[in-house]
A and B are shown apart, each in its own frame.
Chain A
Amino acid sequence: MEKIFQKTRGLNDRIFHYCPGCGHGIAHRMVAESLEELSLLEKTVMISPVGCSVFLYWYFQTDNVQASHGRAPAVATGLKRANPGSIVVSYQGDGDLASSGTAEIIHAAARGENFTVVFINNAIYGMTGGQMAPTTLVGQKSSTSPYGRDPKFAGYPIHVCEMLATLKAPRYIERTALNNVANLNKTKKAIRKALELQEKGEGFSFVEILSPCPTNWGQSPDEAMKWLEDNMIPEYPLGVFRDAKPGEVKA
C-alpha cells in the first residue's frame, strides 16, 4: 500500500494535554508541518508562552524557551538578535499577547523584528479557568464577566491585527480561523508564508488564528465551532491586513 500521509517530524509522539475540541492541537500541527516542509526544523527556536500552550516544548522537535506572561515578543527579539540565522516562532494566546504583553507585541512589530508570531485567539483565558480576556466578545459570559462582557465597565474587544496594521514596519499580518476545511487550508498557508518571509529576512510576520475553547465556553466541540463561526468571525473579520515591505502601507 502506498503511504499518502504521515505525521510530521516536527512533533513527537507525546499525546497533547489539550481539552477535546481545543484548537491548539491543530495549530501546533500546522506550525510543525510548515517548519518541516520548509526544512526549518533544525534551526528553529519555539517560544512557549504562559497559558494552555506553556508545555508546547513537550511536543515540538525544536529548541524551545519558555517565556513569562506577555513577554514572548521581547524574548523572541533577544533570541533573534543574538542568533539572526535561527527561525524564531513566538506562539501566544490572547490573554498573554493582548493583555500582559500589549507593549511587547506592539514594539516588536514596530521595530519590524524578523520573527513570526502565531497568535491563538479564543476570546478567553484558558489555563486560568475561563476568565475574561481583552478579546472576549461584548455580552460573552466568562468567570469574571458572569453577566456577559459589558463595555460600560470592561470596554470593547481588542482587534490585534487591525492595531498592528497601523504600524509601518510589519511585513505580513493575517487573521484566519479553524472553523472549516477552507479556513484550515488558509491558516496553514498563512503560517507557511509567515515562516518563509522570516527565512528571507523580510521582517515581522503575524498570524492570528481564531480558535475554539469548548471547555471554557461551556460548549461541546461542535457547538464551539458553530459559536466561533457565528460570533467570533463577525467580530474579528478574516483576511490579510498587511502584505507589504516595511515602510509601505497597503492591505
Chain B
Amino acid sequence: MSKKVLMKGNEAIAEAAVRAGCKLYFGYPITPQSEIPEYMSRRLPKIEGGAYIQAETEVSAINMVYGAASTGKRAMTSSSSPGVSLMMEGISYLAGAELPCLLVNIMRGGPGLGNINPEQADYFQAVKGGGHGSYHLIVLAPSSVQEMADLTVEGFNLADKYRNPVMVVAEGNLGQMMEPVEFKESYPQTVDHSAWALTGAKGRPGHVVTSIYLAAEDMEKYIQKLYRKYDLIEKTEVRYEEFMMDDAEVVLVAYGIVSRVVRNVVEALREEKIKAGMIRPITLWPYPKDIIRKRADQAKFFLTCEMSTGQMVEDVLLSVNGKKPVYFYGRFGGMVPTPAEIVAEVKKYYK
C-alpha cells in the first residue's frame, strides 16, 4: 500500500515523472517552477541511466529534449511562461518530428517579463500553437497536486501512444501549493519505439528523425498524416469533469486552479436555488467541445472564468456555436477571482 505524502505541486510533477520512467530531464531555472529542476537534479543522478542537465538556455533545454526523445526514451523539460516562449521553436520541431516527450508550463504573469504570480494567459500559446506551422500539442490542465502527479504520468503515456509532445499547464500557485498526494509504486510503459528510435543502425537500415519535406506534395501529405493523428486524438482523448451539471441552467466553465474557486461558486449558487454547474476541461486540447455543445441545450447561459483576459472563452464560444449567450469573467496579473466576485457576475446575467 502506498501512502499519502504532503508535497508541493512542482515536486509532485517531478516525482511522478521519475516513477513514470523519465530518466532524462533538461531545464533552466525560472520562478515559479524551479522546484522541478531542483528535484530532478537530486533524483536523476542516483538512477541508472538517469541524466539531469541544467541547460544554458531554455532554447538549449528543449533541444536536449529533442535529442533525448529521438532515442525513444522518456524525456522532459519544465519552465514558466517566458521560458516556454523561448522553447517554442523546439516545440514546433518536436511536433514536426513526432517525438514523444513531456513539457511542463507552470504559468506566470505576462506578456514580457510580467511577474511571478499565477496566470492562465498562456492558453493560446499552449493550445493554438505558439511555435510555427500546423501542429497540436496534447495539453493537460490539472487542478490539484494529486492531478499534477497523475496527469504527468498520463502525459507520458499519451506522448508515447501518439508520438506527440504533451504539455502539462498549471498556474504558479498550483505549482507552489502543498497537498497530500499518493503515488503508485510503478507505472508501466507499454509502447515500443524501436521502429523509429535512434539507437544506432545495427542490423537494420538507418532511422531518420526529421521534419523537412522539401517537395510541396510531400509536405502536404505529411501535414495530412499529422492531422489524421490529431483527428484520432480529438475522437478518443477528450477529458473533462462535470460538477452538478445534471440540471444546470447556469454553466460555468473553468480549468486548473480557477475550477476550484468555481466549485465553491456552484455550491453557493445552489444554496440560493440557482441551478448552477461547472464543466472543467482537463484536456485543453483536444477541447471538450461536444459536452459543451450538448449542455448548451439545457443552459440559459455560459460564464467562462479565467485568470487571463479571456483566451479559453473563445473555445467555449466555438463549442456553444451561438446557441446560448457566453459571458466571460477574468482576473489577471496574479489576482485570483473570489467566489463572491463570480457569484455577483452570474447574478448580472441570471434573471
Contact = CB atoms under 8 A, between A and B. Distances in A.
Contacts of B201: 41-42, 44, 61-63
B209 interface: yes
Contacts of A45: 70, 198, 200
Interface in B194-252: 198-203, 205-212
A81 interface: yes
Residue from the set A64, A65, A76, A81 with the largest chain B CB neighbour count within 10 Å: A81
Contact of B211 (A66, A80, A106): A66
B208 A64 contact: yes
B269 interface: no
Residue from the set A45, A54, A68, A82 with the largest chain B CB neighbour count within 10 Å: A82
A63 B207 contact: yes
A210 B206 CA distance: 29
Nearest to B57: A103
Nearest to B214: A55
Interface stretch (B60-68, B148-156, B301-309): B60-68
A223 B227 CA distance: 50
B63 A67 contact: yes
Contact of A71 (B60, B202, B203, B206): B60
B199 A54 contact: no
Given A42-B201, A66-B208, A76-B67, 10 more contacts: A54-B212, A62-B206, A64-B210, A74-B61, A78-B63, A78-B65, A78-B75, A83-B71, A83-B199, A107-B56
A107 B56 CA distance: 7
A45 B70 CA distance: 10
A24 B201 CA distance: 23
Interface string A51-92: 000110100111111111001001111111111011100000
B336 interface: no
Contacts of A159: none
A78 B210 contact: no
Interface string B79-123: 000000000011001000100000000000000000000000000
A66 B96 CA distance: 11
Residue from the set B56, B60, B65 with the largest chain A CB neighbour count within 10 Å: B60
Nearest to A75: B67
A31 to B, nearest CB: 14
Interface residue range, chain B: 35 or more
A63 B206 contact: yes
Given A54-B212, A64-B198, A78 B206 contact: no
Given A79-B71, A82-B73, A63 B199 contact: yes
A82 B68 contact: yes
Nearest to A65: B209
B135 to A, nearest CB: 14
A57 B63 contact: no
Nearest to B73: A82
A189 interface: no
A68 B198 contact: no
Nearest to B89: A68
Nearest to A77: B64
B30 interface: no
16 contacts: A42-B203, A62-B206, A65-B97, A68-B90, A74-B67, A78-B24, A78-B63, A78-B66, A78-B67, A79-B68, A81-B51, A82-B70, A82-B71, A82-B73, A83-B200, A107-B56
Interface residues of A, number: 37
B268 interface: no
Interface string A83-109: 101110000000000000001101100
A104 B51 contact: no
Nearest to B199: A83
Contacts of A75: 63-64, 66-67, 70
A43 interface: yes
B26 interface: yes
Contacts of A85: 200
Q: Which 4 A-B pairs have the closest CB atoms?
A: A78-B67, A74-B63, A43-B200, A78-B64
A174 to B, nearest CB: 24
Contacts of A86: 71, 198-200
Contacts of B53: 77, 81, 111
B279 interface: no
Contacts of A44: 200-201
B253 to A, nearest CB: 37
Given A42-B203, A63-B206, A74 B60 contact: yes
B233 to A, nearest CB: 24
Nearest to B210: A66
Nearest to A48: B210
B127 to A, nearest CB: 23
B59 interface: yes
Given A82-B51, A104-B60, A57 B200 contact: no
Nearest to B66: A75
Contacts of B212: 54-55, 66
